[in-house]
Amino acid sequence: MPPPKTFLIPVALVAAGLLALLWWKSGSANQPESPPQGAGPSTTSLHTVAPATNPLVSAFNQLREKPGRPAALQTLKDLQTALNAMPRDQAVTWIRSFLASGQDLPTGLSFEIAAGGTLSEWPTFRTFLLDALLAIDPEVAAALGRTILTTPTSADEWALALRNVGRVETTAEANAYLRERTEALIANPDWQTDPSIGYLNAFDVLVHTNATASTPLLSSLIQQKDRRDLAHAGFLTLDRLVQRNPADELTRLAADTALQASRPEMTAQQFARADLRDETQREIVKSWLLDPARTATELRSFAAVYPNNNRFISNNLLTTETPQAGADLLEHDRQVLEIINAWAADPAFQPVAEQLRLMTARLTGFVGTPQPPSAVPGSP
């Protein structure tokens, strides 16, 4: 049996590539201009919030001295250990009180996501507290997240607030709320001009909520050829939505003539993700493939990667990627090869006979002989 042809990109490589491509900046802070609505006046003194024995005060004062990355990271990990060891109510009270003070400072660290969607580095003290609160009391973290999402504090804070709500609330109403707030984050002109790592990772909330209705927003970002950071974030999100909701998303893409004209190769390669064994997806692809409006560029891009089962693997705030098993991919290829052969014998498909031959050759190679890995195609 040949090895699976789903070419998984190691997390470290994906992270490195995205850091270079999207201009992600370590230590991005986007400091809040004011405390969250209802969080208390920004003039509140830190030492009036909690007594000096509060470990948050000690850690905050240590970070105020700008000790450098290793020491800052150790300070926050020690604080994390202390918070997890104390009674939950005490930890929650101290965290809520500190957040209500509106005070913050940069840590010199990055916005680094670990497995499971928690952070292993925190760009500001407040992002650390929001991350810690989810582990200590998820319900409180979600409720506070909704409060934060009423006021534009910072993109990194909003990303964590969205994650905290998404971890706890799973209703249709919650998904609609998360989608609306995520779109508000993405459209914020200040955050969009200089996107932080948290800003770019917040796009994952749209995947978590299966937000195919956000396709027009993602399409508009992908078409911004002078903003590779936004275009790539939009592409990654759209690509993952196609994988999760292929019939819905491909129907929307088929109607998006502006995106097809702007990014013909990328759009065509999304149609190459369709599973032709599914009747609905098969009819969508058939209609798209035989449309006289199809260009040679689109047809070539489609046939050159079909079937497109490549995936990006990375740590995300809310979602996880599960690679397909090699045996499942092999069975898929055998079955769709039969469908492609039937199309090749159908006179209606004569205009795309050359593309069908290329697809047949690719599938035959996958079924019968191992294929070397290749880069994930289609990225702006």
pLDDT at 5 over 70: no
Per domain, the residue ranges of the chain are: 8-329
pLDDT in tens, 140-169: 999 999 999 999 999 999 999 999 999 999
Closest C-alpha among 116, 125, 194, 121 to residue 155: 194
Model-level pTM?
Answer: 0.83
Strand locations in the chain, DSSP E?
8-9, 112-113, 119-121, 311-312
Interatomic CA distance for residues 4 and 32, integer angstroms: 47
Residues 216-227 have pLDDT tens digits of: 999 999 999 999
Mean pLDDT (whole number) for 322-351: 93
pLDDT greater than 70 at residue 30: no
Burial of 228 (0-12, 13-18, 19+ CB in 10 A): middle
AA letter at 5: K
* Span 242-258, pLDDT tens digits: 999 999 999 999 999 99
Nearest CA among 85, 99, 91 for reference residue 49: 99
Kindly state the percentage of the chain with pLDDT values over 90: 79
pLDDT of residue 260: 97
Which CA distances in Å does 167 have to 125, 161, 244, 336? 21, 10, 19, 37
pLDDT band at 312 (very low <50, low <70, confident <90, very high): confident
Residues with Cβ within 8 Å of 175's Cβ and at least 6 positions away in sequence, in order, are: 209, 210, 211
DSSP code for 214: G
Distances (CA, A) of 38 to 91, 150, 377: 20, 10, 47
Q: Return the pLDDT at 379.
A: 53
* Rg (alpha carbons) of the chain, rounded to whole number: 24
- Per residue in 39-83, pLDDT (tens digit) is 433 333 443 444 448 999 999 999 999 999 999 999 999 999 999
pLDDT at 89 over 80: yes
Residues in the chain: 380
Mean pLDDT of the chain: 87
Q: What is the pLDDT of residue 372?
A: 44
What's the pLDDT score for residue 360?
96
Residue range 266-286, pLDDT digits in tens: 999 999 999 999 999 999 999
